[in-house]
Amino acid sequence: MAKKMVMAIFSGSVDKLTAAGVVLSGAAAQDYEIDVYVLLMGAYAFKKENVDTNTHMAELQDKKEEFFASLQRLKVPKWIDFFKQAKELTNVKIHICGLAGKIWGGEKLEDFVDIADDIVGIGEYISAAEEADISLFI
């Protein structure tokens, strides 16, 4: 039986989304079954129109240019590409929180990136986190 990981993505900042993508890729490579729940600011980042334009940093805002230059120099994939690659490797489901989506004007699944699987209530996240082998909140 595959181990289960639940990841809650609260942050919409590129630095934290990149870190979440790296962790997600590692878990996918180890064949975890993964449920990602996209909450509040995360829902902003997962909206179609924001994926390529969001450059917000949660940490070390004064290092923003250096951070993005390093990502480019090291050829680190965009955060969304980590999520796409993980979905190709193993069973990864990406759930958008219904309230979070509505806050950012996303009422339908089509308002979000194409890798989002559904829109759910917060109770589904709580239940999944209770049953997971690993539960992360980013």
pLDDT tens for residues 67-95? 999 999 999 999 999 999 999 999 999 99
Per-residue pLDDT, 98:
97
Burial class (CB in 10 A: 0-12, 13-18, 19+), 67: middle
Model confidence pLDDT, tens digit, residues 18-47: 999 999 999 999 999 999 999 999 999 999
CATH of segment(s) 4-137: 3.40.1260.10
Q: Count of alpha carbons within 13 Å of 11, Cβ hemisphere only?
A: 19
Per-residue pLDDT, 2:
84
Closest CA to 24 of 80, 70, 73: 80
How much is the pTM?
0.94
Strands (E), 76-121: 92-97, 118-120
* Integer Cα distance of 90 and 30 in angstroms: 9
